[in-house]
Amino acid sequence: MPGNGRQHHVALWKGRRRIAAIAQAILLTALPFITINGQSILRFDIPTLKLYFSGTVFWIRELYLLVGIVLCFLLFIGFITAVFGRVWCGWLCPQTVLLDLSQSLARLINKKQEQLVQRVLLLPFAALVAFTLICYFVPPAETLQSLFLSPIITTFFIVLWIALYLELAFLGRRFCTSICPYAMLQNMLFDKETLVIEYDMSRDSTCMKCDDCVTVCPVGIDIKKGLNSACIACAACIDACITVNEKRHVPPFPDYKGTILRAKSVWLGGVTALAAIGLAALVWSRPPFDVVVTRNAQLLPAGINRYSLTMYNNSSQAINVELTSPDKVVLLGSDTFHLAPFGSVNSSIMVKTSSNNMPDQVELRFTGNGNTAIREIGFF
């Protein structure tokens, strides 16, 4: 029966959005708690200024890698937006997910007091999001232990909780149409083939003008009036139209329209993939540990220079580093260092040479776990 097929279509769109929303909520909440090599799969550690990502670490000094990460992210966002339109807004955006889930639960609990119940439900939802956000910057175990013991963490949690709750409960969907910077950016990336929800004007005379599509629209637009930049492509209007017209065996008037596989999607996707491959190659080619040596300006007796050493462990394994020099110099200070996994060590070394035969530069060799880092430094 055609009607059964259309009922399945209604359930299909709503079901897909619900599955995507739940999957997104679970993933974003769980990311800080999923560990690889003993660290969160995604976390920016504020005290040490390190970005943990997928089992490796990016130091704040590795600006070229951080720029590469941002570039790949922006290219990916541009690719998704140019091809799939506002699919993020309607299907995966945390704002949409939280409002949709809380609204659905509120209707189940008390449909007559839906708005009030939703605002009550948003209290624990906002608290969970605030806690999760902190875990993206502070180790989750430390956050759990210090949530109401550390004044700094407690303050951040309460401020985030209040800000998120006020935004979700009282600004809600208006944030999407008036403030969200990504929504504004999307308008510049769209073209005539971008996937959008569009009303079929050629069949307007057969539309029943029931306005159910307007009633269910979360941002309150009338899709019958043409494309609107406020549309978040959630497909609620499509499901409403199918429900009304299924007995007439008429296809929905609003529907997804666009061309996914086209020249622009191929080259833009290719550029994004190449950028990601290049970034992966840069990360893969990094040495297990790195060393930064700087000469101190401290005045010392002739023939002696002091150098500051900073060693970084880029791997998940502890590394014991030994410092030597092939030149005719004497190293004064500790010449062995222990680098904890993803850790760093700050130290100093004095280099002494004969005052009668001072070199212009000195070579220092740092050896650990079969790898050697050579640094040539000026000697004065």
Q: What is the pLDDT of residues 47-106, one digit of tens each?
A: 888 999 988 999 988 888 989 999 999 999 999 999 999 989 999 899 999 999 999 999
- Maximum separation of any 2 CA atoms in the chain, in Å: 102
The predicted structure's pLDDT at residue 324: 94
Higher model confidence: residue 240 or residue 247? 240
Give the C-alpha distances (Å, rounded to integers) separating 20 from 89, 229, 234: 12, 23, 12
Contact predicate 156/113, CB 8 Å: no
CA separation for the pair 208, 250 (Å, rounded): 11
Hey, is 356 helix, strand or coil?
coil
DSSP secondary structure of 11-56: HHHHHHHHHHHHHHHHHHHHGGG-EETTEESEEEETTTTEEEETTE
Per-residue confidence (pLDDT) for residue 207, from 0 to 100:
93
Q: Which range, 15-24, 49-58, 152-161, 352-361, is most confident?
A: 152-161
* Residue 123 exposure: Cα atoms within 13 Å on the Cβ side: 5
Average pLDDT over residues 129-144: 93
Phi first, then psi, for residue 46 (nearest 5°) are: -65, -45
What integer pLDDT is reported at residue 194 of this predicted model? 93
pLDDT of residue 6: 43
CA angle 127, 130, 131 (to 5 degrees): 85
The answer to whether residue 243 scores a pLDDT higher than 70 is yes
Q: Pick the residue with more confidence: 12 or 155? A: 155
pLDDT tens-digit profile of 146-201?
988 999 999 999 999 999 999 999 999 889 888 888 877 887 888 889 999 999 99
Map residue 254 onto helix, strand or coil.
strand
Provide, for the chain, the percentages of residues in helix, strand and coil under a 3-state DSSP scheme, each rounded to the nearest 5.
Answer: 50, 20, 30
Overall average pLDDT of the 229-258 stretch: 91
Mean model confidence pLDDT for the chain:
90
| pLDDT for the residue 355 | 64
| Cα 47 to Cα 204: distance, rounded to the nearest angstrom | 60
Average pLDDT over every residue of 244-271: 92
Please give the pLDDT value at position 1. Answer: 35
pLDDT at 143 over 70: yes
Helices 2-30 and 114-135: crossing angle in degrees, nearest 10, is 40
What average pLDDT score do residues 317-327 get?
93
Output phi, psi for 288, to 5 deg. -60, -35
Q: Which residues in the chain are classed under CATH 2.60.40.10?
A: 289-378
Distance CA 236, CA 10 (A): 9
pLDDT > 80? residue 8: no
234 with 221: CB under 8 angstroms? no
Q: How far apart are CA 163 and CA 144, in angstroms?
A: 21
Please state, for a pLDDT cut of 70, what percent of the chain lies above it. Answer: 97
Residue reference for tokens 């800000």: 163
| pTM, full prediction | 0.82
pLDDT at residue 333 is higher than 60: yes
Neighbour count for residue 328 (Cβ, 10 Å) = 10
Our separate counts of H helices and E strands in the chain read: 12, 15
Q: Tell me what pLDDT residue 4 has.
A: 43
Phi and psi angles of residue 70, each rounded to the nearest 5 degrees, phi first? -65, -40
pLDDT at 5 over 60: no
Phi, psi for 61 (deg, rounded to 5) = -70, -20
In contact, 233 and 86? CB cutoff 8 Å: yes
According to the model, what pLDDT value does residue 7 have? 45
Residue pair 322/347 in contact (Cβ under 8 Å)? The answer is no
Multiple choice CATH, 289-378, 2.40.110.10, 2.60.40.10, 2.40.50.140, 3.20.20.70: 2.60.40.10
In which residue are the tokens 């306005």 written?
A: 211
Residue (of 238, 208, 200, 210) closest to 90 by Cα position: 238
What is the sign of the dihedral through the CA atoms of 368, 374, 378 and 380?
positive
Does position 283 have pLDDT exceeding 70, yes or no?
Answer: yes
Residues in the chain: 380
